[in-house]
Amino acid sequence: MAVLPPDPVYVLRCPDKAGPNSLCFHQNDRLLAGTLKGNVLLWDLQTNRSSLRFSVGSQPIITLHHTHDLLISQEKDGTITLWSMENAGYTRHRTFNTQHIGFCRSVLLDNLLFYPSGEDSVGILHVNDPNGFSQTLVPTKDKQSPKLGMVACLKAFKFAAKYYVLAGYESGHFITWDIDLGKVVDVHAMRQKNSMALDYDPCTNRGIIGGFSENLTVFSYQPETMKVQPCGDMSVKNPGINCIRIRSDLKILSTGGLDGRIRMFSWKSLRPLAVLTEHKTGAIMDISYSTDKVTIWKSPIMAVAGMDSVISLWDLYN
């Protein structure tokens, strides 16, 4: 049974009435939120005050990433912008359009940005060298190929020193690409269609997929062939999983639901640990973990964005 959790260590109120849609930490003591109205808000977690607000555009910000000195924003209309840190703010450095309108979140791995491109392709950009490495992965299209629909979720990872990306589609198909070879190594049809969230841990060779149903699908890869192998399902009380995060220490799995619940599981055993109910109305939009201790709380922190215009901060199972 899930036990009653402690309260959040702090709650940030989003001044943008449309609410936070995406989160990312920068150097642990700074938290950025992208809102449904197209603004970016920055909080200094040493004071818990919003120190910066600027407009990206008029579209919801689907994803935020931050390298050491570069902010990356992805908007619902397919616009991706690279922002350079300058003085106390950010300057627009480069903008391009992916021709993808939707809610599939981009992924950043080792300064490689993986993003949905067009309806069913995956683009790759080296964010620190825009004139260098770039690539577009296009699924095979012939009479035998399944109808995929749009890219719905992405996960990039390294396995046995090679780069791969896993793309989930509206149809329930999941395609794995070998990035070095630029080719498809597996196409797998899951029972569940319309997946919305995905995460995978190459250290334990286990991943998890969620969508509009109440089921979470656990999977792994066959190491010799890199074929997806389903390992069973977990179920939650209410349908609809909007985001999934495996914590970097590989101890905790967290999911954000359309019912406003954050569910915490042991990543080792998949045993439920807690159900967080701080967000009273609307869906959970994003979950982000600091990579190290946040100074004021002397502990790593989990940040959760809700449709209730609240960002809750948690110190759990550290």
Structure confidence at residue 133 (pLDDT):
66
Percent over 70 (pLDDT), the chain = 97
Structure confidence at residue 193 (pLDDT):
83
Per-residue pLDDT band for 219 (boundaries 50, 70, 90) equals: very high
In angstroms and rounded to an integer, the radius of gyration of the C-alpha atoms of the chain is: 19
* 131 CB neighbour count, 10 Å cutoff: 6
Structure confidence at residue 132 (pLDDT):
62
Res. 299: pLDDT tops 60: yes
Res. 1: pLDDT tops 60: no
Res. 5: pLDDT tops 80: no
Percent over 90 (pLDDT), the chain = 89
Region 89-111: mean pLDDT is 95
Structure confidence at residue 130 (pLDDT):
63
Res. 312: pLDDT tops 70: yes
Region 158-185: mean pLDDT is 95
- For the segment 236-269, what is each residue's pLDDT rounded down to a tens digit? 999 999 999 999 999 999 999 999 999 999 999 9
Structure confidence at residue 51 (pLDDT):
86
Res. 3: pLDDT tops 70: no
Q: What is the mean pLDDT of the chain?
A: 94
Structure confidence at residue 144 (pLDDT):
80
